[in-house]
Structure 1
Amino acid sequence: MATRILVVEDDLLNRMFYHEVLGARGFEVQMVSDGAAVLDEVDRFAPDLITMDIQLPHISGLRLIRRLQRQEETKGIPIVAITAFAGKGEEQRIIEAGARAYLAKPVSVDKLVGAVEGLIERAH
């Protein structure tokens, strides 16, 4: 069975990019564009890894990361945080919230694939 990745991203072009890149590597990819739908989709799809945009409609990615890390059934899911807001101290704040990797937009194919594959390897 393919490794399942939930892509949480509100920008359509970014979602398409992540889907194409990760799908081409053999991952099963499901996408969510609204922060309010993330928790339900995590329960339904049971991802092995999540890529999380930080600036989302309705609820921030940072808040979602914290919530996922507090729940027993989801705290083991590795999260790659991806954000265009790469201000000073932002990476530290995101890692402290529970993300295991941080990428600043725009994200290159190599950085995205490297972060995802590295976390999946460490999880197994």
Structure 2
Amino acid sequence: MTRTVLIVEDNELNLKLLDDLLQAEGYSTVCFRSGEEALPAIRRDPPDLILMDIRLSGLSGLDATRAIKGDLALKGIPVVAVTACAMAEDEQEIRAAGCDGFLAKPYSIDSLLAVLGRFLA
């Protein structure tokens, strides 16, 4: 069974890199550049996992995660924060918003695949 990963990333290069890598690993991907675009799609067709950039323009990744985790139909979807903000207080804020995992940029392919394996095993 192919697993679907929804990627929310506002940087075009980072989005393409994640999309290409995940597809090469056999995942189905759905990509969005903003939380405002992603939320309706998540509600319409829930993915198996969400990779959420935290620093998005408009609706932040933290606010989008709070909306997902506040929805009874969606709260079980793992949300993994992908961010360049890797200080201890940043991780606390990310966890408090409801993110299930944390991936600091720049990340290695191995660490990305390990996170995916942890949540999609």
TM range (shorter): over 0.9
1:50 lines up with 2:50 in the alignment: yes
1:81 lines up with 2:81 in the alignment: yes
CA distance in structure 1 between the partners assigned to 2:93 and 2:54 by the alignment: 11
Secondary structure at the residue paired with 1:89? Answer: helix
Instruction: State the partner residue of 2:101.
Output: 101
Give the TM-score of the pair, scaled to structure 2: 0.94
Counterpart code for 2:93? R
CA RMSD across the alignment: 1.1
Gaps of 5+ in 2: none
CA distance in structure 2 between the partners assigned to 1:13 and 1:40 by the alignment: 24
Instruction: State the partner residue of 2:60.
Output: 60
CA distance in structure 2 between the partners assigned to 1:43 and 1:74 by the alignment: 7
Instruction: State the partner residue of 1:5.
Output: 5
1:27 lines up with 2:37 in the alignment: no
Aligned length: 121
Secondary structure at the residue paired with 1:64? Answer: helix
CA distance in structure 2 between the partners assigned to 1:94 and 1:12 by the alignment: 23
1:119 lines up with 2:114 in the alignment: no
Counterpart code for 1:99? C
Gaps of 5+ in 1: none
Q: CA deviation at 1:45?
A: 3.3
Percent of pairs with identical residues: 38
Give the TM-score of the pair, scaled to structure 1: 0.92
Deviation per residue, 1:2-54 (Å, 9 max, x gap): 10100000011111111111111111001000121111121233201000000
CA distance in structure 1 between the partners assigned to 2:83 and 2:99 by the alignment: 12
Q: CA deviation at 1:67?
A: 1.1
Deviation per residue, 1:61-94 (Å, 9 max, x gap): 0111111101001100001101112233111111
Provide runs of 4+ in structure 1 moved above 6 Å: none
